[in-house]
Amino acid sequence: MLIITILTLIVAIGLQNTQQSKITPILFSRITSIMLIYAAILTFNMLYIDIIDSGLGIFSGYLQVSNISLSLEIFIYIIGALILMPWYPNIFNNKLILERDSPSASPSTLSLLVGDLKSDSEWEKANVLKLESPSTFSHQINEWGISLNDNKVDNISITHLGDRWENFYDRVVKYNRPVLSEYALIILFTTLGGVLLISSYDLVSMYLSIELQSFALYLLASLYRDSESATSAGLKYFLLGGLSSCFILLGAGLIYAYTGLTNLEALYSLFSVPNITDTIVSDSHLHFMVGAGESNIYGHRGFLLGLILIVSGFLFKIAAAPFHNWAPDVYDQVPTIITTWLTIVPKIAIIIFLLELESGLFINSDISNITNDIHSLSLLNISIDNIITLDGNILKNLFLFSSLLSLIIGTVLGLAQYKIKRLLAYSTISHVGFLVLALAVNTEQSTESLIFYIFQYSVTNLNTFLIILVFGYSLNTFWKNNNTNLNIKSNLDIRYISELKAQFINNPILSLSLAICLFSMAGVPPLIGFFAKQQVLYSATYSGYYFLSIVAILVSVISASYYLQIIKVIHFPISMTNIQNDSNSLKVLENNSNNKLNNKSNNIVPITNIHSMTISILTLTILLFILNPSILLNSTHILALSIFNC
């Protein structure tokens, strides 16, 4: 379904520039949302838990369909559709309009507007011209019979208006010039890469899938190509993401070099054979015995080294510490609608693949016998002085180490942030710590808690960014009404926590919804985030990881402080607010009594019905989960059992 939709969109985009094409860019996003929902329905129709059981191999074993892969594919489709639906057309339509104030007004009375007329007929009635570059400004002036020296212009001279146009074009129009049809197409490519990665059952398909997803994400991050910050973020994401891809490719190459295999099922079977000492003892030639033993040891060592490189590359891509440095910069510099996608969908696909990889290694095989084999070989006087000791728990230790660092770094560094998206980026790193902790435990309970945590993290994070988008639209509407002298950044996104000050007065429902999401992230009962963290901590303590459980509890308490900081700014008036831009040259001091942001009549939030309905449903899901938790908990329990009872 995704491939058909991609091919259809490619043809439609090619015809978009023709005069016969009536498909607007925003319509591409709506069509893509519908197609993703339809793909989710088709995937749900294929979900037969009893028949699929442990999984069915397709495409010569390169992909495997399992209950957990199908279930998470459905979830990715739904999340992707929800992210696409609320795209606000009036912000990202790139149409700068120069129009007469009214039919009765003087022809020389002009106004500079940002907006969108809903249909072509309204464009014709309004007698306006879409300006794509500054050069068309003078042409429109001459066409209306107004000279640059006309003294009849009210309030502002044509020359001054031209200066305003040049400044506005440089700061706003050039920045907000993504092609929405390209956005929808790139979203489909990264979704396709994610769902293929979840179903990958071969090193080749694994690498191709993660690269398909990654390259689409690089394009997505730099989609605002006229923005210096977005381009910088995309370049940084590309360079560091390419480095992590090199780790993955090197690890896959090492595994193939030592085993000659790429199929994951074959690799699981290879390392589930009985101890190599059984073969050695039964052989009558001592020289052959020693050679076979050393070869097997080096084969296991090469396999584990390749496995470590692959896992490290994937941890890099989900921004788990100590591979997290790129995430705060990238998430902060790209537009909020792009950040929403980057923080959710790629992480789901990679976490599920790591879950299936770890389950296949430590459930279907007996890799821990490698250590026993080495000690047994030492009894035969085989020299292993220069051989690295192989521990069957090395992958688990890697996960535990990354989890510990992610929990600490994501919490401590988040305390010093004054930019809201950087703060949420460190919050994401902390949440990744909980996810990796559940991966490390690797029991039925931890797998169940992992799937449940993925659901609550996605829902809460999505709702948080959707609400931040609405606040950005609200401030943009306020700015368009010319009721403030704030030098709003050109991307019109909320960047600083200070920009949310006293928003409870203007938008009480949205403010309460954001507070609910932040409390859920902090793990405050009885919200869904509390139960997710409780399940992860219970599975960790049950398996004996007391130290990490205590650390996780402490960082959850500490992280609540910076969530409360945002809530305080939103719900309580602030007399003076300092807003600093990236160059630290802009400082705006506003008196709260004269703050026109509190004027409700000038700050109506212009969001679509789908956007508001999505926020309402997600907020109620977070808030009222406690009333009927059995549906979700039973589903996660069944998926966990499908992995361990195969």
Q: How far apart are CA 247 and CA 259, in angstroms?
A: 18
Q: What is the pLDDT of residue 502?
A: 79
Joined tokens for residue 5: 């939709």
Residues contacting residue 77 through CB under 8 Å, at least 6 positions apart: 36, 37, 39, 40, 43, 191, 195
Residues contacting residue 225 through CB under 8 Å, at least 6 positions apart: 177, 178, 231
DSSP 173-200: ITTT---HHHHHHHHHHHHHHHHHHHHB
Stretches where the chain sits below pLDDT 50 are 89-179, 274-293, 366-392, 482-491, 575-603
Q: What is the pTM of this model?
A: 0.80
Q: What is the pLDDT of residue 48?
A: 78
Q: What is the pLDDT of residue 237?
A: 94
Amino acid at 538: Y
Q: How far apart are CA 32 and CA 185, in angstroms?
A: 8
Q: 102 φ, ψ to 5°? A: -165, 160
Map out the domains of the chain as residue ranges: 96-173, 454-646
Joined tokens for residue 290: 């020693």
Per-residue burial over 122-133, b if 16 or more Cβ lie within 10 Å, else e, is ebeeeebbebee
Joined tokens for residue 120: 């072509």
- For 475: left if phi > 0, alpha if psi spans -120 to 50, otherwise beta; the answer is alpha
CA 83, 427, 221, 503: dihedral to nearest 10 degrees? Answer: 60
Q: How far apart are CA 90 and CA 364, in angstroms?
A: 53
Residue with tokens 């949302």: 33
Q: How far apart are CA 606 and CA 55, in angstroms?
A: 47
Q: What is the pLDDT of residue 477?
A: 59
Q: How far apart are CA 298 and CA 275, in angstroms?
A: 15
From first CA to last CA, the distance across the chain in angstroms is 29
Q: What is the pLDDT of residue 523?
A: 92
Sign of the C-alpha dihedral, residues 424, 427, 428, 431?
Answer: negative
Residue with tokens 């396999």: 303
Among candidate residues 208, 396, 368, the one with its CA nearest the CA of residue 311: 396
Using only C-alpha atoms, the chain has a radius of gyration, in whole angstroms, of: 28
Joined tokens for residue 495: 């960047």
Q: What is the pLDDT of residue 623?
A: 94
Among candidate residues 411, 435, 466, the one with its CA nearest the CA of residue 349: 435
